[in-house]
Chain A
Amino acid sequence: DQQVKQNSPSLSVQEGRISILNCDYTNSMFDYFLWYKKYPAEGPTFLISISSIKDKNEDGRFTVFLNKSAKHLSLHIVPSQPGDSAVYFCAARADAGGTSYGKLTFGQGTILTVHP
């Protein structure tokens, strides 16, 4: 099941610079996208989301961009901080004609390391 793909297993960035994490999807029924952050031995923590009717959503240092025609979304973190070092997962929900029960499909994750 490769409906959501994060092709970069890892990303290393200097503190203060921009981190860009990418995610591609194949299922055109996906209508809602989320980014989660995960530390070792913890569950995924919600970061930011975007509906398919938008192309950008911003929350503080985090911005998510959605390009529906390319089936691509990205998470920008500006400025990056050492505390941002974690695994970042992209996830998507498919609209089931209004009867979705919220199943999320996850990408493989990208390990972000922010160096001081």
Chain B
Amino acid sequence: EPEVTQTPSHQVTQMGQEVILRCVPISNHLYFYWYRQILGQKVEFLVSFYNNEISEKSEIFDDQFSVERPDGSNFTLKIRSTKLEDSAMYFCASSPDSVYGYTFGSGTRLTVV
């Protein structure tokens, strides 16, 4: 069964450093997403990406965050200057349309120290 692949599975970074979280969505999917889950809290929407541009973003997704699909297969989330409160599980997801067949990756645990 096709999978959404995320790397690394765990990333530790110092506060103020830039991090890039990587995702390989399912190949024929058109919609791409990032979500995050702070420990003990709900899964929160960050951003959706369609047709090579951001289609929707949450208030969490401020100027410190950016997304890119640099080569038609990878989908990346960059955090420019990490803060302690950015520590969370970050999930990438993709979908062939806007809801059906929505598939999540296993997540990247980001720890900011």
Instruction: Give A residues with C-beta under 8 Å from B.
Output: 32, 34, 36, 41-46, 49, 89, 91, 93, 100-109
Q: Please tell me if B82 contacts chain A, counting CB pairs below 8 Å.
A: no
Q: Could you tell me the distance between the alpha carbons of A49 and B99 in the complex, rounded to whole angstroms?
A: 10
Chain A residues within an 8 Å CB radius of B44 = 106
Inter-subunit contact B48/A106 (CB<8 Å): no
Inter-subunit contact A109/B56 (CB<8 Å): no
Q: List 17 A-B contacts (CB under 8 A).
A: A43-B104, A43-B105, A43-B107, A44-B91, A46-B102, A91-B43, A101-B50, A101-B56, A102-B31, A102-B48, A102-B95, A103-B48, A103-B56, A104-B102, A106-B42, A108-B41, A109-B43
User: Given A34, A42, A105, A109, which contacts B102 in the complex, CB threshold below 8 Å?
Assistant: A34
Inter-subunit contact A104/B45 (CB<8 Å): yes
Task: Look across to chain A and name the residue whose beta carbon is closest to the beta carbon of B3.
Answer: A43
Chain B residues within an 8 Å CB radius of A41 = 106-107
Interface class of chain B by DSSP: strand
B78-99 vs A, Cβ < 8 Å mask (1 yes, 0 no) = 0000000000000101010111
The minimal Cβ–Cβ distance linking B38 to chain A, given in whole angstroms, is 12
Inter-subunit contact B33/A102 (CB<8 Å): yes
Instruction: Give B residues with C-beta under 8 Å from A.
Output: 4, 6, 31, 33, 35, 41-45, 48, 50, 55-56, 58, 91, 93, 95, 97-100, 102-107
Which interface residue of A89, A102, A109 has the most chain B CB atoms within 10 A?
A: A102
Q: Could you tell me the distance between the alpha carbons of A36 and B59 in the complex, rounded to whole angstroms?
A: 24
Task: Look across to chain A and name the residue whose beta carbon is closest to the beta carbon of B91.
Answer: A43
Task: Look across to chain A and name the residue whose beta carbon is closest to the beta carbon of B9.
Answer: A41
Q: Could you tell me the distance between the alpha carbons of A108 and B95 in the complex, rounded to whole angstroms?
A: 23
Q: Could you tell me the distance between the alpha carbons of A113 and B110 in the complex, rounded to whole angstroms?
A: 28
Inter-subunit contact B99/A93 (CB<8 Å): yes
User: Given A36, A42, A91, A105, which contacts B107 in the complex, CB threshold below 8 Å?
Assistant: A42
Inter-subunit contact A46/B56 (CB<8 Å): no
Q: Could you tell me the distance between the alpha carbons of A109 and B6 in the complex, rounded to whole angstroms?
A: 23
Task: Look across to chain B and name the residue whose beta carbon is closest to the beta carbon of A105.
Answer: B45
The minimal Cβ–Cβ distance linking A22 to chain B, given in whole angstroms, is 15
Inter-subunit contact B107/A107 (CB<8 Å): no
Chain B residues within an 8 Å CB radius of A93 = 98-99
